[in-house]
Structure formats: structure tokens, C-alpha cells
Amino acid sequence: MEATASIPHRDSTHEKSTGPLPPTFVDKNQPRGDRVDLKRIEKAVREILVAVGEDPDRDGLLETPERVARMYAEMFAGLQHDAGRHLAKVFQEDYDEIVLVRDITFCSMCEHHLLPFTGTAHIAYMPNGQVVGLSKLARLVDEVARRPQVQERMTQMIADLMEERLNARGVAVVLEASHSCMTIRGIRKPGSLCTTSAVRGVLRQDSKSRAEVMNLINRRN
């Protein structure tokens, strides 16, 4: 993870919390706050093993349903929370230029095949008097990733949350990912990468600023 900006000082005396803003961003996959039903996943995995012609009672598979249940609970942990909570703590700062955090790795789960897609996220924003701790952007990406997802929606969710919760003047989010549903099955094209981007606010309106951000994101050193 590489950061191209000054890190806000932890000891800022102007630190304040925006508190729970009424979100206008509509999350179609609303976190339900339920506990994951591990036993139910175990039963289902056992069923799958039987259905493909395996013996779920043989030694090697005995603990597999339990293990898979715990894995799903971890992969979908993002459904338990509002991902935007990571943007609640902000620091008052006069800085109004571009802040960019590049190469935030993530692993998500394609909702069409329940196969992982992995890659990197780049988040740029132009603050409006308040900045957020840089590590919070990585937490935001992690939490948005940990649910049944499609890359397009994931990109938009991050951009919308940045715009709304931080009241950012401009936001640009770029995701690059390899989808195992494309690399290991179906068309089987290892090495293929999918890039998505979402741009909000002044970065959407002003092509010069947008080009500057995209240059910073695409710069490879």
C-alpha cells in the first residue's frame, strides 16, 4: 500500500467525529447484523459433497463442512456491519488537494459463482476541510469486499461512501482484479484483469483534475 499524501496528525486538537450521518447511499445488500448460521452452512456443504459423489464421512472430509462454514463467515463478515463506519472519525485539516492511497490489496467473492476475485484498489479524494486516517481507507475496502460482490458495484460503493461520509469535494476509485470465475473455469483466461472506475464530484466535472488523479493512479514506479 502506498500513500501519496501527508498523514493527518493523530494529536490534532480539532479531531471530531461526524457521528452517524443519515446515509443517502442505498446499500442494496444491507448489512443485517445477523450472526452467520454456521450449522446451516455445514449442512449445505455436506449436501454438496454428497451431490458431487463424495463420501462426506471419509477421513479427509470429516471436518471440511465445519472449516468451510468458518471460511464463509470470514469471507462474508462485511455483511455484519456498515462499511462507512470506518469513515466516521475525521480530522479537521485545511488541505484541499488530492489525497491518494494506491495498491490496497483486497479479496472479494464474486456473487455469481461464489469464487474469489482478488486485486488492488486505488482511492483518491479531495477533502472538504476534513480528512480521514489513511488506514481507514484500507479498512473500508476490506469491509466492502467481504460480502457477495460484483466488482462494478464494489467500486461504486466505495466512491459513494467516500463522497457522502467524508463530504469529499471529489472522489476517484479504481479497482483492478483477477476473477477466478474467469481464470480457473468457464473461459479459463489466466492473467486477464478487469478494471473499473468510479468518479464523483469535482473530479467528475473537471477533466484536468481527473487526468491528474488518473496519472497518479496509473504511475508505475
The site for Zn ion (CB under 5 A) is made up of: 110, 112-113, 181
122 is catalytic: no
Name the residue with the smallest CB distance to Zn ion: 181
The nearest distance, CB 185 to Zn ion, in angstroms, is: 9
179 is catalytic: yes
CA dist 15 and 92 (Å) reads: 6
Strand partners for 149: 110
111 is catalytic: yes
Instruction: Please say which residue, 26 or 187, places its beta carbon nearer to Zn ion.
Output: 187
Instruction: Please say which residue, 86 or 146, places its beta carbon nearer to Zn ion.
Output: 146
Instruction: Please say which residue, 52 or 187, places its beta carbon nearer to Zn ion.
Output: 187
User: Nearest CA to 25 among 119, 131, 153?
Assistant: 153
112 is catalytic: yes
Tallying the residues shown for the chain, one arrives at 221
Could you tell me the three cell numbers for 152?
462494478
The nearest distance, CB 186 to Zn ion, in angstroms, is: 8
Active-site option among 47, 112, 152, 205: 112
Active-site option among 42, 122, 130, 151: 151
Per residue in 16-30, is it b (16+ CB within 10 Å) or e — as a string? eeeeeeeeeeebeee
CA dist 53 and 37 (Å) reads: 25
Q: Among all residues, which ones are annotated catalytic?
A: 110-113, 151, 179, 181
